[in-house]
Amino acid sequence: MARVATASLAETPQQHVGVNRPNMVQVGTIVWLASELMFFAGLFAMYFTIRAVRPELWATQPEKLNIPFSTVNTINLVLSSVWCQMGVFAAERFQPRSRGDRWWKIWTREHGWFTWGMREWYVLTYIAGALFIAGQVFEYASLTGDGLTVSANSYGSIFYLATGFHGLHVTGGLIAFLLIIGRSFAAKRFGHAEATSAIVTSYYWHFVDVVWIGLFFVIYVLK
């Protein structure tokens, strides 16, 4: 009986248990964002160091900032992260476009944003991000007219350095959205690779959103 049992076990194919490996694209994106976080941490350190060395500048220069306008611009960027996440949910459903035939009628449940796919939500995110950059350019023009330039003093230098580098990161995110939207048109079938690209792009966008919240609090709110 022992020989029969041993023989039957030897003839039975081995059952291999699958291992769920992490998506290397997502892991690589997170590692890269961690390095970007260290970069912005250096900018924050520069800001507080200059503020400690030249406190008299912070008694006059922040008065030139348009706080209500910057608050509205910040709310717009925060909402763009909401639109971006809605696009991620659609990408996870492998839904690249709207299921309705009249997607522009956003107030109807049959044709509106209830049926939007990744493409429509990402277009809305792109518009919000572009408006944020336009608002930042408008703010720069106003501050320059008030005499606050990058070479005016240490406060101007760190202000434009911190917000400017963030603006460059937002612009990079806008380019990424264009590539993702274009890929959704070019792909014959919206599959796992396309969904992964959309998801890692959202990681980056949420990152620049969180960084801006920190910058807004330190530069515009913290006196």
| Contact in structure between 73 and 136 (CB atoms under 8 Å) | yes
Contacts of 47 (CB under 8 A, 6+ apart): 158, 162, 218, 219
Instruction: Give the pLDDT band (50/70/90) at residue 102.
Output: low
Predicted confidence at residue 25, as pLDDT, reads: 77
Residue closest to 67 by CA, chosen among 219, 170, 208: 219
Predicted confidence (pLDDT) at residue 155 exceeds the cutoff of 90: yes
How many whole angstroms from its chain centre is CA 178? 14
pLDDT single digits (tens) 190-202 = 888 888 999 999 9
| Contact in structure between 35 and 212 (CB atoms under 8 Å) | no
Predicted confidence (pLDDT) at residue 204 exceeds the cutoff of 90: yes
| DSSP-assigned letters across all residues of 97-115 | S-SSS-TT-TT-TTTSGGG
Question: Locate tokens 């720069």: which residue?
Answer: 140
Which range, 32-46, 162-176, 190-204, is most confident? Answer: 162-176
Quick one: which H or E segment has residue 79? helix 67-92
Give me the phi and psi of 208, to 5 degrees please: -65, -30
Predicted confidence at residue 99, as pLDDT, reads: 73
Residue closest to 43 by CA, chosen among 152, 161, 153, 156: 161
- Over residues 128-132, the mean pLDDT reads 97
Q: Could you give the angle at which helices 154-186 and 24-53 cross, rounded to 10 degrees? A: 160
